[in-house]
Each structure stands twice: as structure tokens, then as C-alpha cells.
Amino acid sequence: MTSIPIILAEGISKRFGENQVLTRVSLPVMERDVVCIVGPSGSGKTTLLRCLALLETPSEGRVVMEGTAISTPEQPKPVKAAARAVRSDIGMVFQHFNLWPHMSVLENLIEAPLRVKKMPRAEAVAIAEKLLVKVDLFDKRDAYPARLSGGQQQRVAIARALAMSPKVLLFDEATSALDPELRREVLLVMRQLATEGMTMLVVTHEMGFARHVGTRTVFMDRGEIVEEAPGAAFFDAPKTERARRFLQQFEE
């Protein structure tokens, strides 16, 4: 294992107009890490994730992937080129799934491998089918997203991200839009990925997942990382008052 982080947020700040959303946030994610980011809403978790997914440009700081800068405030040409080169190594799962409704489940999965990786169709289909078996949705291969439950849609979205064999997978509150009874099936898939050694950065409100599956928990509040601890340690012995107050909401 190397000691270079797969992906690294380096002193990232983000402002939207007057609104300071992130303040010098640094976060390395090592291979096989499952980093869970928790914190109250509006704490900047999602914005941090979107910066790492290259959907937002940081106002300060940079995103570094395996030693190479892929996003900086000015986005000069070499950085843009580096970003293009690693684009599909960073997968993302969204809160609202964002499956493409005009394509069947299989078509959703093979679109990027076909167009971006220029993979032969037969190979892309074979990979997609294997992934559908993995998320237990092979029978929905030809269904359209609108026919699936939220939990099923999110599992397809995970499979779609995996089809590009990313080096790191970012989850943006992947279960928040789901009814409680549908969350479990998605969390099971995520847990399975973690056991298989997938590198993951998970923004979540699922404290159980952070505690039992995460290798590290990061607590964010008001655009800053307040506390960081290995898996369960954060929950058993939070060091800061802010973290304690946050965790109290989940006890009753």
C-alpha cells in the first residue's frame, strides 16, 4: 500500500458570494478507507464532496488525486487535463439517484463505459450484468427507472458508478431521500463494498453505518472539520462539545 492518498482535499475553502461554506478543509482519503462525514445540515459536507467530485471549483486550496492536482481555483490547462484523465476514477452516488429516465437500467450502466472508455458493447454489457447481480437487480435489467422503487434506483445508481471501476466512490447522503424501510437494502450494498475494500467517502446521517462500517469518522460543523477519529471512537468518546451536542440528537 502506498502512503499517498487516493484523493486529498488540501486546504479547501468555498464561498458562494458572501456565504463562506467551507473554510480551509483538509482531508486525505487513503486506499481502502471508508471515511464517513457527519454533521448538521449546512455544515458544508455536501459542498466538500462536490469539490472532490469536480462539480464545484474551490475558492482556495486544491484537490489532489494520487499526487496530482486536479482542481484549483484558477483551473489552469494542465490541471484541467489532469482532471479529464482521472475523471472516471472518481465515482459519485447522489442523494436523488439521478438515473437517466429515458434509458433502461442496462443502458444507464453501459452508457459511460461505451462513450467514455470506448469499451466494446459485449464487454460493457457483461460487466453491467455482473454488477446488477451484485446489487441483486438482475431481473430489472430492461426496466426503466420510473418502474423501480427508490431503493432499487439507488442500487442501480451505485452499479452505474461501479461500472467505470472508480478508485474512490463518493456518496452524497445516498439514503436520505429514501423511506426508512428502503434504506437497509442500500446500506447493505454499501457495507458489502466496504468489506471488499472499496475506497469510499460517505456523507451520511446514518450513524450506525459510520460507527460500524466506517474506518474513520469526520465531524464537520460550519464549514470546518471539527473532529476526526477512527470508526467507533468518535461515537464512544467525542472530544469536542459541538460533537457531543450533535450526537445527543441521535440518542433517545
| Interface with another protein, residue 128, by CB under 8 A | no
Cell digits of residue 249:
440528537
| Interface with another protein, residue 144, by CB under 8 A | yes
Q: What is the closest distance, in whole angstroms, from the C-beta atom of residue 128 to another protein in the complex?
A: 13
Q: Taking a C-beta distance cutoff of 8 angstroms, is the pair 96, 172 a contact?
A: no
| Interface with another protein, residue 66, by CB under 8 A | no
Beta carbon nearer to another protein, 71 or 217: 71
The residue count for binding another protein (CB under 8 A) is 25
| Interface with another protein, residue 87, by CB under 8 A | yes
Beta carbon nearer to another protein, 21 or 92: 92
Give exposure, 77-104, as e/b (b: 16+ Cβ within 10 Å).
Answer: eebeebbeebbbbbbbbbbebebeeeeb
Beta carbon nearer to another protein, 17 or 101: 101
Contacting residue, 75, 98, 176, 215, with another protein by CB under 8 A: 98
φ and ψ at 147, to 5 degrees? -85, -5
Residue 78 parent element (H or E)? helix 77-86
In terms of C-beta density within 10 A (0-12 exposed, 13-18 middle, 19 or more buried), how is residue 3 classed? exposed
Residue 150, beta-bridge partner list: none
Positions in 186-245 near another protein (CB under 8 A): none
HEC letters along 143-164: CCHHHCCHHHHHHHHHHHHHCC
Q: What is the closest distance, in whole angstroms, from the C-beta atom of residue 117 to another protein in the complex?
A: 8
Positions that interact with another protein (CB under 8 A)? 53-55, 87-88, 90-92, 94, 96, 98-102, 111-112, 115-116, 144, 146, 157, 160-161, 164
